[in-house]
Every structure is written in structure tokens, then in C-alpha cells.
Structure 1
């Protein structure tokens, strides 16, 4: 049984933040492993059908309201299901057939930078010179990770990075498209409905591609990868995500994406012997620099929280506002 002291330590915001990075960073490697046994869209669809049913079941029991009501709530669920669940994971799983989980995690870390760019185009939000520079650096970082060269633009690794970049764009676009809509639907219910709907789309498109359960190679490794993605990276990680979102807000929580490549690379090295080269490390550094320019005030607030995370002041620094939107 977990003692009260250990429980209090685990419940601290910085500890939960690292735990979420570990669970989600490990998911990139679990996908890489599972794709040796599952066709990609069927794999993603099964993961989110099970996880979505579990989270929606939790919402039925625990939330004040679990069914969407009205146009805005159904549109929000539809957008999240189509872009953040179905579109993002379709391209991610297809891309990870060609690149490692660690490289995929590095490309996905571009999400906050693309979100700012999409918001500037679609919502007329002001994009300053500093933010434009950050966006350009992010794109440059992805190009370095891909080892882009016009002569090898159609190489296997470049195609894989391109597919993961489309996955990242789908996630960022989905987040921006939901902003105009107002909803009081509890987040767990919204995520549960979106996961179930997105899973249906993934399974339907997979079936059109000829994917079926008959092609699955059911081995212990296949089962464990699906269990990890469904329960740990799905149900448990989203529970941590909901808690952190309530505590620190979406801006600070975006920073988890910059720990995920580290944990993905560590798991990939320990479990698969995957190594990342200097170009990938340099590309990740440039992507993070782009993010630091785009969200520099939020980053400064989180760094201040980390410096004092051993006391109550640290919790307040993590949980407090970081001032107006970055400019």
C-alpha cells in the first residue's frame, strides 16, 4: 500500500508532469514495436476504441454531464475526433512505419509552434516578428531531422518524417479549429466521445485499405504494446493530463512535448537499441528554440516553478498564470 508521503510526492505537479512525459514518450516506442504485428490504422483504431470506451465510461460515472448538447459541443467533439484523434494518429502510425519513435516524437514536438501559425492564419491572431522567427526555426529543425536534400526527398526516412509532420499539423489544426466554440461539457466526456468517434474513422479507413484482424500477429509483444498504449498511455496518461490541465492550463502543459522525445529516445535505446544521430539532436534543439521564442513567457514561468518545485511556492509557480499571451 502506498504511504501518504509517497502519495503526496507523486501528486506534486512537477512529478505528474514528468510522469506524463514518460507515459506519452514511451507510447512512440510502443507504436514502433506494435507496428511489426498490427496494420497501422487498425492498430490506432483498436487503441482508441478501447481507451475511449474506458474514458467515456468514467465520464458517465464521475462527470456532471456526459452527453454533448447543442451545436457547439457536437462540433467540438467532431473536430477533435476527426483531426486530433483520427487524422493525427493515422499519419503518425503510417509515418512510424518508416522512422523510429524517437524521431517521430521530435517532429511532434513542433505542435505548439504550428498551433500559433494556424491561429494567425485562421483566427487573425497577431503573429509578431519573434513568433515568425520561432516558426521558421521549428520548420528548419524538422528539415534537419529529416535530413532533407532535394536529391533524396523521396527517401524512406523523408517520407516517414513527412507523414509525421502531417500528423503534427492535423493535431495543431484541430486545436485551433475548436477555439471559437464554447462548451461546458466535461473534458473527460469530450475526450471519450472524440476517441470513440475517431476510432471508428480509423477502423473504417483501415478496412478500406484492406486491414483486418486476420492480419494481426498476436504475440505477447503485440499484446503488451496494445495494453501499454490503451491503458498506460491512454487511460492513465489522460487522467494525469486532465489533472494537470486543470492545475497549470494548456500553455504550460505544452512543455510536456519537449520531454517526450527524451523519454522516447531513452526507451528506444534500452528496448530496441535505437540510436539517434547528431542531426536529430540538433534538429530537436532548433525546434525547441523555436518554441522558446513563440512561448517565451510561459517557458520562463515554468522554469521559475521548477527552481522551487520542492516547496509550496513551486506548486504555485507551476499552477499560476504566466501573464498575457506571448508577443
Structure 2
């Protein structure tokens, strides 16, 4: 292949697929790592180290590495509490009982929940009939994925049911955090804000781990556990967020938001390939209902995305 041919390959779709792969495989990596690390300490160590890496990058690549104004401090705090600490703490606790592929499908409710919180908190208008239909379809899909009849039958089923509830609450926390930061005005580079949110969120997770009675002495330094931790920290953490910032500049938040519907596909494939887990038909139908719900609530956004993609391909 000639150098000219390489230059003609569009890099944006490749970066989008790479980011979806990194974040989709993170659910499987969490499932593997939980066998060797205490749950919340695992999440805490991951984000403390990733935060340090991101902070070093922010110092290198931006002109401002720390928040100063009130809105910047508030946005960083919201990110640390809701998007890092609460979201990942609940997700990791839930994944003690639920496979990563199923967890990723439940987390794909986040865009729907974000739209609901935005309509209530930011008064962005009522959902309307189509939006309400989308909301109901999304929650129906979540119920199908959860399979409440089997999830709460017997002791193991009850543990699975608890895991599903915790992961759903993680999606709620992520969506709420995303909405609460929208009205805040900040000139702080996103790299710097993300770095501090990771660091502070990691510290909060460590406090939560200590309150839960976890001890770092219980870590098993097995090759699979170390590989999982390094992958989550450096690849799904630092590298993936750098790709995210690049794609955010190229695509904007509207198109990039759709990556949440590619992640479950990646998670399902990797969970099957590495761990032998197979997602049943009911869960797949549930994921389809969740995606339909998002499409119904955000049909205008999807149309604009389709037009933008068509123009980009034509160019």
C-alpha cells in the first residue's frame, strides 16, 4: 500500500472504533481484575494512577493545569463524586455479581437517563409523546436484560439482582453528573479537569474502600490481575481519554455520544472470546429496546448525525 493510499484512509472512524474497543473491553477487564483485587480499592488505585498520568499530560499539553474559578472547582467536584467515585464504585460492586457484557448493556441506559435528567433539572422541555415512548422502551429493555424473575429467585439469583440494581444506580449517577456540569462555565482545559476529577474520585473511592473494610494486603499479584489493572489504567483510562478528547474536537459531543451503543457489542464479543460468556436472546432484545428508546428520544440528533456523516463521506 502506497503512502498516498495510507493518507487517504479516514482516521476518525478508526479512532471511534478504537475508543469503543477500549471502553467496551474495560467491562471484561474489570470482571477479570475483581478476582485478584478488593473491589473498591481496585477502582481507587486505577483512577489515582490514571489521574496522575492525565495530570502530567495536562501540564505538558495545556496552559492551565488546575481549576481556579468557582465553576471550574464545582465541575471538577461533580465529576469526582458522580462520574468517577459513585459511578465506578457502584459499577465495580455490581460486577461482583453480574458479567461484564450484561453490565455494559445496563450502562447503555445512561444517554436515556441523561435526557430525562436534562428535561427535569435543566428544563430543556418536556419529553413529549415520542420521548415518553422512548423512555418506556429503554426501561423495558433494562427489565429484559435484568430478567427479574430469574434474577431474584434463589440466593445466587438475589445476588445477581443486587448487582443489576447497583449497575443501574451507576448509570443514574453518571447521567446525573453529566447533566449537573452542563450549566457550569469553565475555560479549564478538559484534560486538566479530567485529571483532577480522576484523582479526587480515586481518593473518595479509597475512603469508601476503607469504610467497607477493604485492605490492600489482600491483593493477589497474579499476571492476569496485573494485566487487567494496567490495561484499565493506561489503555481504557489514559489512552482512551486522549482519544476521547481528539474525537470530541472532530465530532462534537452529539455524534460521540453514540459510542455508548458500540461498547456493549465489544463487551459481548470479548466476554464470549475470553471468558466463554454468551448473552442470551432476551438480553439482546433488551439492548435493542434500549437503543430504540434512545433513538425515539433523540431522533433529531440522529438525523443530524446521519447528515453529517453523509457529508463527511461525500467529501
Category of TM-score, reference length = shorter chain:
over 0.9
Task: Label 1:184 to 1:5 Cα distance change in 2 as closer, same or farther (>3 A).
Answer: farther
- Runs of 5+ consecutive residues of structure 1 not aligned to the other structure: 314-327
Structure 1 position 149, deviation (Å)? 3.3
Is 1:116 the counterpart of 2:115? The answer is yes
Q: Which residue of 1 aligns with 2:131?
A: 131
Residue correspondence of structure 1 range 7-26 to structure 2 within 5 A: 9=9, 12-26=11-25
Task: Give runs of aligned pairs for residues 1-327 of structure 1, distance below 5 A.
Answer: 6=6, 9=9, 12-126=11-125, 127-149=127-149, 152=152, 155-304=158-307, 311=313, 313=315
- TM-score w.r.t. length of structure 2: 0.93
> Aligned with 1:20: secondary structure?
helix
SS in structure 2 of the partner of residue 229 of structure 1: helix
- The 3-state SS of whatever aligns with 1:298 is helix
Q: 1:240 to 1:66 in 2, by over 3 A?
A: same
Once the two structures are overlaid, the 10-residue window that deviates more, 202-211 or 142-151, is 142-151
State the secondary structure of the residue aligned to 1:184.
coil
SS state of the match for residue 36, structure 2? coil
Corresponding residue for 1:320?
none
- Does the 8 Å contact 2:254/2:305 carry over to 1? no
Between the aligned partners of 1:122 and 1:183, the Cα distance in structure 2 is: 20
The offset of 1:136, in angstroms, is 1.3
Alpha-carbon shift at residue 135 of structure 1 (Å): 1.2
Residue aligned with 1:221, SS: helix
Aligned equivalents of 1:131 and 1:113: distance in 2? 10
Change (3 A) 1:290 1:5: same
- Scaled by the length of structure 1, the TM-score of the pair is 0.90
Give the direction of change, closer, same or farther, for the CA distance of 1:217–1:151 in structure 2 (3 Å limit): closer
Tell me, in whole angstroms, the C-alpha distance in 2 between the residues paired with 1:175 and 1:12: 28
Superposed structure 1 runs of 4+ greater than 6 Å apart? none
Q: Number of aligned residue pairs: give it.
A: 310
Unaligned runs of 5+ in 2: none
